[in-house]
Amino acid sequence: MSEPSTEHLLTVDELRVGFRTEDGLVQAVDGVSFDVDAGEVLAIVGESGCGKSVTGMTLLGLTRGPNARFGGRAVFDGCDLVGASDEQLRRIRGAEIAMVFQDPMTALNPVQRIGPQLAEQIRAHDDLGKDAALERARELLERVGIPRARDRLRAYPHELSGGMRQRTMIAMALSCDPRLLIADEPTTALDVTIQAQILEEVRRLRAETDAGVILITHDLGVVADVADRVVVMYAGQIVEAGTLDELFYDPQHPYTWGLLGSIARVDRPRPPRLPAILGTPPSLAAPPQGCRFRPRCPHRFAQCLELPALEARCGVPDHLDRCWLSAEEKREKRQVGGQIGLAPEERAA
């Protein structure tokens, strides 16, 4: 079937972000490429420090600074966000691309009422008077399920519960109907029940609008709940990318196996201890030679001293990974104790 290739909403091509520090150049993002389409939820998964937040923030130019070094491109609507001027970025921020941050308590101005904070964004992009903007803010609050929205407009952030604050942040992000929403760990600072509600908001957003969503998280449970496609990051690079099903049922990279294996499962007998990936992520100022996961990987062998390219190695064109093991070996080695996981360290090559 031939259909015209739909243009991606966002195309990230070999994005590089480094920060100059006293200890040298820390390469937080080292050659990351992915696409996001309208109406799709892309999850970026990884440990703390893998570069996923920096990737998200760089798309909005929030990492720009005197010691930041950028490379590569991120094309949105024909405009390269990495090289965009400040004015171009200002117009895109909040209107075309919006971001929801991790901790709603610190992400909102504590001495300003939430009504004006919402109105401020609206009036930065639309020519509305103060009252009209506040009215729109009230509608937005109702839309994200905050009761007594009119009263809440006059509330300060600390007068709201964590869940309501995050809903307010989402309302703020949606206020100008963005085409791309970047959610950076939106549920991490909240308890599980609120988490479910917030994810429901994301699902509703996907159903009601055509917006694309980049969901940055370290929680695979969240990923399983809302994501369409997943990208796994490790030490500043993507190590695996594929659809949700591909990642959960046919993971190709040992790091992904480790992540999946470390999830506590309700439907299985309780293990004596939670499996964890031994070791710690490498320093981004001096990453290891070759495959970056090699020092922690129980399946490493001689070839791993050479960095694998991110390619489709298992026969599915869009399922990419960075591991030299053959597809056969992968299927075999990822079975640990009857489920997918990372084998404990044996003496390897």
Partner 1 sequence: MTRFVVRRFISMVLVLFAISVLTFLIFQAIPNGDPAARLAGRTSTPETVAAIRKTWGFDQPIYEQYVTTMKKIFTGDVISYAQQVNVLHEIKQDLPATLSLAIGAGIIWLALGILFGLLSAMRAGHFTDRALTVLALIGVSTPVFLLGAVALYFLAFKAGIFPNGGYVPLTQDPLQWLHHMILPWLVLSVLFIGIYSRVLRSNLLDTMNEDYVRTARAKGISERRVLLRHVLRNSLIPIVSLWSLDFAAVIGGAAILTESVFNLQGVGQYAATSIAQLDVPPVLVIVMFGAFFVVVLSAITDVIFALLDPRIRLTGR
Binding site for partner 1 (CB under 8 A): 60, 62, 86, 90-95, 98-99, 101, 103, 106-111, 120-121, 124-125, 156, 158, 169, 172
In 10 A of CB 42, how many CB atoms? 22
Considering beta carbons, is residue 93 or 143 the nearer one to partner 1?
A: 93
Query: C-beta of 62: minimal distance to partner 1 in Å?
Result: 6
Considering beta carbons, is residue 98 or 220 the nearer one to partner 1?
A: 98
List b or e across 48-75, with b for residues whose CB sees 16 or more CB atoms inside 10 angstroms. Answer: ebbbbbbbbbbbbbbbeeeeeebebbbb
From 319, 274, 321, 323, select the one nearest 298 (Cα to Cα). Answer: 323
Considering beta carbons, is residue 42 or 174 the nearer one to partner 1?
A: 174
3-state secondary structure of 175: coil
Query: C-beta of 145: minimal distance to partner 1 in Å?
Result: 21
Query: C-beta of 107: minimal distance to partner 1 in Å?
Result: 5
Question: Across the chain, how many H-helices and E-strands are there?
Answer: 12, 14
- What gap in Å lies between CA 207 and CA 41, rounded to an integer? 11
Considering beta carbons, is residue 17 or 260 the nearer one to partner 1?
A: 17
Sheet holding 320-321, edge to edge: 97-100, 180-184, 212-217, 41-45, 229-234, 237-243, 320-321, 311-312
Query: C-beta of 283: minimal distance to partner 1 in Å?
Result: 23
Query: C-beta of 322: minimal distance to partner 1 in Å?
Result: 31
- What gap in Å lies between CA 18 and CA 25, rounded to an integer? 6
- What gap in Å lies between CA 167 and CA 49, rounded to an integer? 26
Considering beta carbons, is residue 133 or 304 the nearer one to partner 1?
A: 133
Run of H or E including 108: none
From 22, 27, 66, select the one nearest 50 (Cα to Cα). Answer: 27
Query: C-beta of 89: minimal distance to partner 1 in Å?
Result: 8
Query: C-beta of 106: minimal distance to partner 1 in Å?
Result: 4
Which residue matches tokens 């923030």? 57
Considering beta carbons, is residue 1 or 111 the nearer one to partner 1?
A: 111
User: What are the CA-CA distances from residue 60 to residues 75, 161, 171, 272 (Å)?
Assistant: 12, 28, 18, 44
Considering beta carbons, is residue 156 or 248 the nearer one to partner 1?
A: 156
Considering beta carbons, is residue 13 or 103 the nearer one to partner 1?
A: 103
Query: C-beta of 272: minimal distance to partner 1 in Å?
Result: 40
- Beta-sheet pairing, 41-45 with 180-184: unpaired
